[in-house]
Amino acid sequence: MKKRYNYLLYKLKIQSDFPIAELSPQAEAFSVTDLEIHGEELKSEYPFCITNRLRLSAEHLFLAVKNIAYYEVFKGEKITIKYNPSASPEEISLFLLGTCIGVVLYHRGFLPLHASAIKIPERGVAFFTGDSGCGKSTTLNSFINRGYKMIADDVSAIITENEPLVFPSFPRSKLWEDSAEKLQIETAGLKQVHREMKKYLYHIAENNFHDQETEPVILYEINKYPGQETYLEEVTGLEKIRILHQNTYRVQYLERLQLTKKHFKQIAKLASCLIVKKVFRPEESNSVEELANLIEKDLEKIK
């Protein structure tokens, strides 16, 4: 009989028959689980995936990742993985904890934002979002260095029934090589998320992680622009809706998941209680501290 591992992620109780890189097993087994994960090595009779493929419906996801694994998600209740024996645990987890869990969150009624998140002392959650490479994870780690607690990196999960709440992910961040350099983090001892990426897993100390669901307060969309100053501006009305829609995780999946109408209601509900601001940073600036100083000064106004 295979060993069973128990994990807690976004408050979902997960049982897996293989160890999941990046997650820490719970000391005790759950009496009831929300999600079952089954993994096994690819057998010779199961053709090895030589290209990326994705099929998605309201209740099912099939994902083939070249050189890594086949993944299937069923109704947000079960995930099966057939993985290449040469794939690293980190490579297998990259797509399991990304796309697959993202679809599970949709199936289970969450609103997943493509955003990092921290706990504001004595208040709620501040999100950092924006296009790839804008500095979400760099900003997150800069705030952790300042004593703030992490809630999520990359994907923030929100329930909008009643009053919106943000649910904690797990204490790990992913950093590109240049971001680690800016933060003076040595990458020599860190594991790469994928053999073809200069992106590394950086584990966050447990005492720097906030593990309770918390109300959302403010979202900063980070934008690079060809100017010289770092500044921010608040947005209101339909622009808040647009930003939340644009920064929804895997927003292109909504139609195939048959969640377009529900998603609009979710982001409208979130927008009604969330401050949203655009942050503009110079394209040529490498100053992590300048951006963090501006945001931290703004956060002090809402404490």
CB 178: neighbour CB atoms within 10 A? Answer: 12
Domain range annotation of the chain: 5-108, 112-302
Q: If you count them, how many residues does the chain have?
A: 303
Q: Which of 40-44, 140-144, 253-257, 261-265 has the lowest mean pLDDT?
A: 40-44
pLDDT tier at 44, thresholds 50, 70, 90? low
CA gap 238, 182 in Å, rounded: 35
Provide the CATH number for the domain formed by 112-302 in this structure: 3.40.50
Give per-residue pLDDT as tens, 61-111: 999 998 899 999 999 999 999 999 889 999 999 999 999 999 999 999 999
Residue 93 — left, alpha, or beta (φ > 0 → left; ψ -120 to 50 → alpha)? alpha
CB atoms within 10 A of CB 159: 19
Quick one: which of 113, 126, 116 has its CA closest to 153? 116
Q: How many CB atoms lie within 10 A of CB 242?
A: 14
Write the pLDDT tens digit of every residue in 230-249: 999 999 999 999 999 999 99
Distance CA 95, CA 69 (A): 9
Q: What is the mean pLDDT of the chain?
A: 91
**How do residues 149-198 score in pLDDT, each as one tens digit?**
999 998 999 999 889 999 999 999 988 787 878 888 888 888 888 887 88
State the pLDDT at residue 72.
97
Tell me the C-alpha distance between 284 and 76, whole Å: 42
Distance of alpha carbon 263 from alpha carbon 244, whole angstroms:
10
